[in-house]
Structure 1
């Protein structure tokens, strides 16, 4: 089972469910031709999707178009059910870096048929995830730079200030639907600049002051 530490605290969490936001940056929504949503759009990844720094993303044989999406990850440290935004930040155990790997051809095909697209998002190795820093190490989670490069070439360079729905509202919204448990992770969306990777590529994702991931692609 995947586990991650909160750096400097001695705490380790077994990863539970991974709740993800789609279209939480307006420029990213526009680059994919999607409307900007008024409420959070949620999907999930299983814990079995998680890999760590240096481990490889393996593109499934059923896809020819695998995309990267760098994201701020929020680790839940205490049970949260139907809580308010004012209560939400007390549930945060840490912040990390994630890459939401997406099989764009598979996703678009399923969306066109009105079908769920978990197989485009939740496949094995689809969630590279760093260890976490404690909340007090991050002055403002809504003012963080998110970067991703492929083979040393910059592809994404955004800021979490552009999130449509912010962390307290996201946690509160999710907690009205799913009870959040310690070890659950929320992926908060990606800025513009997503694109394709191929076998043999190497990705580096970084949120300065939080963490970094170096991930090869197979």
Structure 2
């Protein structure tokens, strides 16, 4: 007799440069409004005090180079280019000085968003789940180990749609640094190997439609790409 009542989904994962084994995704945490200019363009204010978070299900992650249908329930589908942190070991209540010991590596990623549903949720003071956590809503490129990437500084982060530049900033523009985000998140969760933290998006987010090709780059990392297909 089978252990489960129905077939389980395979584990989603991120390929790692130089490794035959992939990084299995346990949980996906996302930092909101972590670039000041993006917070302003969304009609809000930068969150300089403490980071805030939302989540995406690991089953909704897809690899770079995928083509995904234009999602259900939206007429305003947006791209958000992001720098993601891959956690490599159990991490709980760490200081900022200790936080970087938890990092396995980094990758370029896309936090796709149903913007009209997000606006509706904000107006109603409701959670963002339908806007952020949906099928194919997180896209991850090949990762690189932390030691091979080096120190996080002014690496450029960009996103182009059909060859037209939409987002252009540097990692130095992050309001909350990588060690601060890890230390803060570890106060609320017992982080573990396989957790991924998407650190927020720069200004310049915008709508995409069926047929669009997205190409995002972060200096030192493999690019992330996505093609938007027709609606289901």
Q: Does 1:16 align with 2:20?
A: no
Q: Give the corresponding residue for 1:96.
A: 107
Over the aligned positions, Cα root-mean-square deviation in angstroms equals 1.1
Could you tell me how far 1:144 is from its partner in structure 2? 1.4
Please identify the structure whose Cα radius of gyration is greater: 2
Regions of 4+ moved over 3 Å: none
Q: Give the corresponding residue for 1:50.
A: 61
Q: How does 1:123-202 map to 2 (within 5 A)?
A: 123-202=134-213
Gaps of 5+ in 2: 1-10
Distance 1:84 1:65 in 2: 39
Gaps of 5+ in 1: none
Could you tell me how far 1:10 is from its partner in structure 2? 4.4
Q: How does 1:55-134 map to 2 (within 5 A)?
A: 55-134=66-145
Distance 1:182 1:105 in 2: 34
Give the structure-1-normalised TM-score.
0.96
What SS does structure 2 have at the residue aligned with 1:89? helix
> Per-residue displacement from partner, 1:50-81 (whole Å, max 9, x unpaired)?
11121123332210001101000100000111
Distance 1:114 1:48 in 2: 26
Q: How many residues align?
A: 218
What SS does structure 1 have at the residue aligned with 2:67? coil
Give the structure-2-normalised TM-score.
0.91
Distance 1:58 1:111 in 2: 25
Contact 1:6–1:93, Cα closer than 8 Å, also in 2: no
Distance 1:118 1:70 in 2: 19
Contact 1:142–1:163, Cα closer than 8 Å, also in 2: no
What SS does structure 2 have at the residue aligned with 1:106? helix
